[in-house]
Each structure stands twice: as structure tokens, then as C-alpha cells.
């Protein structure tokens, strides 16, 4: 090798070191941040959630914060003493039972949250979510006054084509509940038909048009679909993913952020015979751990 070639190699090596050293220094300085970012990137496929960007005071740098959440989400239907001729007696929770549960929540320091806060629970320590399906007028008459009395939040799932119909919520009642700040109004489709029994077109219409109706009529953001009768399949989840951030199932117990995905969020059936002991045993599973 001639001296000329050796010098050229030396020169190239020096240039390479000069070029790479800022990247090396950046890596050393930010290795924790890079590690967390990479970690989160690989986790995305597995439906991990709760990764928040929290700006530090200078507004420049960001810390990546991950939450490990256990959230009991209770599912209610009718809040009514009298179940009439109805055979689904368990769907009819007494208003006094709901009041006992709300009182327990308040007295024991639990905090009601909306379902669509599920990825942002860092400000809570003992969250619980209350959800009401179908939402006939009995919700407005019997549950809403209790939510106001105890100042607690609930998410409700509206059958859009029923609004202003017999025994159903009126649009004025829906507006009043939205304005209270205690009720998050979300969709339970247009007609409550079983989505798995519909054609692709009809199913899409149920998901897309009900969202459009609620958003345009009430000027709200609708990001959660509650599948009627808890029935869904791969196609339905695909359409849900294109239109919503969250999908609610009807069973499955407590929601765990490291286990469940956001389009099959499990719930606990709060039925007529649920005792306060059973109710509180689910509440005790509520947890928010911050993992840095």
C-alpha cells in the first residue's frame, strides 16, 4: 500500500469519526428515551396502550410514560323498580341499588371515569367506569338524578333511531345530560339489530350513520361503539377501527390494559341481584400503576 493510499484511508476514518460522534453522544445522552421509544414501538402490535406524551415545563423534551391499568367497567341496562312483563328481570336494577353503589364509590374514594378516558388515567388512582346500554327514558328519570346527587360520571349508549320515540330519551334530555358534564353520549348503533346478522353495507351504515347523527346533532365527539347484544366479528371490528377508538363487549370482567384490546373492551354485568359485596370486590381490582 502506498503512503498516498494509507493517508487517504486515515483521512476517511477521521471524517467518519467526526460524522458519527454527535450521533454517539446523542445516543449516550438519550439512551433511556430511545430504549423506551423502541420498547413502545415493538409493543404497539400487541395492543398495549396508555403511552402518554407528557411535556416538561420547557415544552421541548418529552417523557414517555406508560400506565398499567386495571379498570372495572360496570354494564347496566334499565334502572327501574318494576320490570313489568319483561323476562330479563336481571336487566332491571333498582334505583336504590344504584344509589347504594354510587354511595359506596364516593365513600371509598373511587373515581368514576368515562370509557373514552381509558388511555389517559394518569390523574386517577382508583378509577371505575359506569356504562348504560339501550338507555330508555328510565335512565334520565332514575339514574341521571343520582349521578347529579353524587356528582359521578357515566357513559351511555344510545339507539339512535329510537330518540324521541316511545319511552325513549328525547333530544332535549340528551342535550341536558351532555351539558351537565356528567354523561358521555356514545353509540349503540341506529337500530340495535345484531350486527353479525347484517350485510356488510347495512352493518357499515349502523356504525357510520349513528356516529354521524350523534356528532352532528349534539356537537360531540363519538369515539366508542357499543356492539348490540355484545355480538361482533372480524369484519365489524375492522369497520369499528376505521370509525372509532373503542369498542365495548358485554362480558369478560375487569379491563386490564396489558391484556385486552381497545375494540373488545370487557365489562362486568351489574345485574339486579348483584350485592354490594360483589360490587365492591370488583372495585378493589381498580388500579393505575405508572411505569417510567
Interface positions with Zn ion (CB under 5 A): 133-134
- Show the beta-strand stretches assigned E in the chain: 51-55, 62-71, 73-76, 78-79, 92-93, 111-112, 127-134, 154-158, 183-187, 224-226, 246-252, 255-256, 265-269, 287-291
**∠ CA 183-186-188 to the nearest 5 degrees?**
130
- Show the beta-strand stretches assigned E in 147-270: 154-158, 183-187, 224-226, 246-252, 255-256, 265-269
Q: How far is the CB of 59 from Zn ion (least distance, A)?
A: 45
Q: How far is the CB of 189 from Zn ion (least distance, A)?
A: 9
**Closer residue to Zn ion, CB minimum distance, 49 or 75:** 75
**Closer residue to Zn ion, CB minimum distance, 88 or 278:** 88
Strand-strand pairing, 62-71 and 51-55: antiparallel
Q: How far is the CB of 181 from Zn ion (least distance, A)?
A: 25
Q: How far apart are CA 176 and CA 201, in angstroms?
A: 33
Q: How far is the CB of 228 from Zn ion (least distance, A)?
A: 5
**Closer residue to Zn ion, CB minimum distance, 83 or 104:** 83
**Closer residue to Zn ion, CB minimum distance, 112 or 189:** 189
Q: Answer yes or no: are the C-beta atoms of 185 and 160 closer than 8 Å.
A: no
Task: Specify the 3-state DSSP secondary structure of 75.
Answer: strand
**Closer residue to Zn ion, CB minimum distance, 128 or 159:** 159
Q: How far apart are CA 128 and CA 89, in angstroms?
A: 25
Q: How far is the CB of 290 from Zn ion (least distance, A)?
A: 35
**Closer residue to Zn ion, CB minimum distance, 133 or 206:** 133
For Zn ion, the nearest residue by Cβ is: 133
**∠ CA 201-185-92 to the nearest 5 degrees?**
95
Q: How far apart are CA 31 and CA 16, in angstroms?
A: 22
**Closer residue to Zn ion, CB minimum distance, 127 or 228:** 228
Could you tell me the three cell numbers for 218?
A: 349534539
Q: How far is the CB of 192 from Zn ion (least distance, A)?
A: 6
**Closer residue to Zn ion, CB minimum distance, 66 or 133:** 133
Q: How far is the CB of 165 from Zn ion (least distance, A)?
A: 15
**Neighbour count for residue 105 (Cβ, 10 Å):** 20
DSSP state of 124: -
Q: How far is the CB of 248 from Zn ion (least distance, A)?
A: 10
In a 10 Å sphere around its CB, with 0-12 CB exposed, 13-18 middle and 19+ buried, how is residue 218 labelled? middle
Amino acid at each position: 500500500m502506498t503512503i498516498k493510499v494509507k493517508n487517504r484511508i486515515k483521512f476517511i476514518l477521521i471524517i467518519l469519526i467526526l460524522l458519527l460522534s454527535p450521533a454517539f453522544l446523542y445516543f449516550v445522552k438519550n439512551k433511556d428515551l430511545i430504549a423506551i421509544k423502541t420498547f413502545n414501538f415493538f409493543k404497539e402490535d400487541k395492543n398495549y396502550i396508555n403511552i402518554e406524551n407528557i411535556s416538561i415545563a420547557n415544552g421541548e423534551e418529552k417523557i414517555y410514560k406508560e400506565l398499567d391499568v386495571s379498570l372495572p367497567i360496570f354494564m347496566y341496562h334499565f334502572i327501574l323498580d318494576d320490570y313489568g312483563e319483561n323476562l330479563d328481570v336481571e336487566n332491571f336494577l333498582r334505583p336504590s341499588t344504584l344509589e347504594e353503589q354510587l354511595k359506596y364509590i364516593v365513600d371509598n374514594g373511587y373515581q368514576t371515569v368515562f370509557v373514552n378516558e381509558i388511555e389517559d388515567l394518569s390523574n386517577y388512582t382508583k378509577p371505575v367506569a359506569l356504562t348504560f346500554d339501550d338507555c330508555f327514558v328510565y335512565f334520565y328519570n332514575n339514574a341521571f338524578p343520582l349521578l347529579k346527587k353524587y356528582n359521578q360520571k357515566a357513559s351511555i349508549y344510545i339507539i339512535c333511531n329510537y330518540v324521541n320515540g316511545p319511552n325513549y330519551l328525547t333530544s332535549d334530555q340528551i342535550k341536558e345530560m351532555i351539558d351537565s358534564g356528567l354523561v358521555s353520549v356514545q353509540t349503540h348503533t341506529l337500530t340495535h339489530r345484531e350486527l353479525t346478522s347484517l350485510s356488510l353495507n347495512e352493518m357499515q351504515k349502523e356504525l357510520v350513520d349513528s356516529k354521524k347523527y350523534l356528532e352532528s346533532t349534539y356537537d360531540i365527539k363519538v369515539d366508542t361503539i357499543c356492539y348490540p347484544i355484545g355480538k361482533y366479528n372480524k369484519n365489524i371490528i375492522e369497520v369499528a377501527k376505521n370509525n372509532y377508538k373503542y369498542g365495548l363487549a358485554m362480558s369478560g370482567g375487569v379491563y386490564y390494559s396489558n391484556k385486552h384490546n381497545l375494540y373488545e373492551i370487557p365489562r362486568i354485568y351489574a345485574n339486579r341481584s348483584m350485592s354490594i359485596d360483589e360490587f365492591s370486590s370488583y372495585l378493589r381490582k381498580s388500579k393505575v400503576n405508572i411505569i417510567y
